[in-house]
Structure 1
Amino acid sequence: MMTFYAAAGSYQIRNEDGKDMPYIMRLGKLQPVSIPEFSIWSMLLWDVLTHDELRKKYFEKMEEVKLDPSGFEKALEMLVKRKLIIKGVGYTGADALYNMLYDTYVIPLRGVQGTRRLLNIAKLLKQGKVNFFEAVYLLQPDKGTEAEQRIMKLVTQTPLSVPELVRCFENDVRDVSSADKVISAIYTEESDNQARLNNACSLSNHRQDVLEATTNLYLTRQVILEHA
């Protein structure tokens, strides 16, 4: 069996009584977390790790900052229970990945990443590490694969789950700009619901393409994941 973990939501740092306190934004609400919990969560932001990989990374970090790492398992369990971390278990890597993503929504990052990229390239230019023409080249957006482009066009209209994205690929759906269009294009049978869709799409020929594209968009910081 394989187990994968990834971070759900985004974060904010707030100054309270002169101290910077971390919060995780989930479904529009700020969730307070402890420093160990935030350390685990931030290690998974834009990354996918196994339990052993995450534990090793966490223990190394705690040793570096001279903090007791013994609370790792409890903190991880609480983060999963609070749906701040998503978890998937399966006999194969693809199954574990699908089980991790099937009830999460893919949400594009708007504006923030472009601004960061611009600032990073401007810094390189100022430091003389790249010349003007190299900076212009680096500023060109990465178009990604055809599947990645298609997913970005869909989730820019409305957040969709991975099974919903698979159904969009199956039915060649391009317009999901309203709730009515999502329902009529994706939930095509009267008996369709989220559970039936999850089961059906787990066997789809398009599952692998959607999984690979979604994971790559997440790892390259173009989208975040929100737990349903």
Structure 2
Amino acid sequence: MLTLYTAVGSLQFVNVNGKPVPHVINNQKEYGMSKEELLVWSCLAFQILTYPELERLFEKNCADSGQSISLPLSHYLNRLLLRGLLVKGMGVSAVDALYRLLGTLTITPVEDRFLPRLASVFLLYTKGQVRLKDIPRLLRKTKCTPTEREVLALAGKASLSTAELLLSMERGVLIRKEEDILEKLYTSPEDTCSTLTDTVQITHAQYPILQAVSNLYLNQKILFQKI
């Protein structure tokens, strides 16, 4: 059984008594975190990792930051899973685990702003983590595939979960606004996002769509919200 992990929400710094304090914003709610929780959450932001991969990255980031962690990774991981700031998906195959991870999560397009990207790259350059010749490549926008563009277009019109998006694209259902989701995808009064996720059967025809969603997330063009 394969288990995959990722983070939900977006990181923002909230001014508390004149000091910037990191908070994760998920579903329009603010969640404060300890420095250890922030480190774990940051490891999984725009990443999809197994536990061993997360453990290696966590240990590396701890060493790089000089941060001493008194409790094991599993302690902070379980706390963040309980708080809904991290999610996991389990499956007998990688595709199944990926779908179980992302199926109920709502897709939110990320606004691509040049100045923040430039500032981030410049900061990495001043720290010696980026070579001068690599800067143009890092500032260049990642090109989207036709399927990725279709996913972004749909997600820009309505707040769709991954399962809802797969179903709408598979059935050719036209989604123009939020109301269309309930009217065209939820055909039974008993239907919920969870039951819809269980109903959708991943087929080979849907692999490219699921891959497009994953690639957009890994390339920081979308983020996930847990409703």
Q: Considering the TM-score relative to the shorter chain, is it more than 0.5?
A: yes
**Alpha-carbon deviation of 1:54?**
0.8
* 1:184-199 to 2 correspondences below 5 Å: 184-189=183-188, 192-199=191-198
State how far apart, in whole Å, the 2-side matches of 1:58 and 1:206 are: 36
The answer on whether the counterparts of 1:158 and 1:176 sit within 8 Å (CA) in structure 2 is: yes
* 1:26-41 to 2 correspondences below 5 Å: 26-41=26-41
Unaligned runs of 5+ in 1: 124-128
Counterpart for residue 102 of structure 1: 103
Q: Aligned residues, how many?
A: 219
Unaligned runs of 5+ in 2: 124-131
Counterpart for residue 129 of structure 2: none
* Aligned-pair identity (%): 27
* Worse overlay, 150-159 or 166-175: 166-175
Q: 1:116 to 1:20 in 2, by over 3 A?
A: closer
Counterpart for residue 46 of structure 1: 46
Counterpart for residue 20 of structure 1: 20
State how far apart, in whole Å, the 2-side matches of 1:195 and 1:207 are: 19
**Alpha-carbon deviation of 1:159?**
1.4
Q: 1:190 to 1:70 in 2, by over 3 A?
A: closer
SS in 2 for 1:184: helix
* 1:30-179 to 2 correspondences below 5 Å: 30-64=30-64, 65-111=66-112, 113-117=113-117, 141-179=141-179
The answer on whether the counterparts of 2:170 and 2:206 sit within 8 Å (CA) in structure 1 is: no
* Worse overlay, 188-197 or 148-157: 188-197
CA RMSD of aligned residues (A): 2.8
SS in 2 for 1:224: strand
**Alpha-carbon deviation of 1:46?**
0.8
State how far apart, in whole Å, the 2-side matches of 1:87 and 1:184 are: 29
Q: TM-score, normalised by structure 2?
A: 0.84
SS in 1 for 2:59: helix
**Alpha-carbon deviation of 1:191?**
5.5
Q: TM-score, normalised by structure 1?
A: 0.83
The answer on whether the counterparts of 2:158 and 2:175 sit within 8 Å (CA) in structure 1 is: no
State how far apart, in whole Å, the 2-side matches of 1:17 and 1:191 are: 47
Counterpart for residue 200 of structure 1: 199
Counterpart for residue 126 of structure 1: none
The answer on whether the counterparts of 2:159 and 2:178 sit within 8 Å (CA) in structure 1 is: no
Counterpart for residue 216 of structure 1: 215
**Alpha-carbon deviation of 1:210?**
2.0
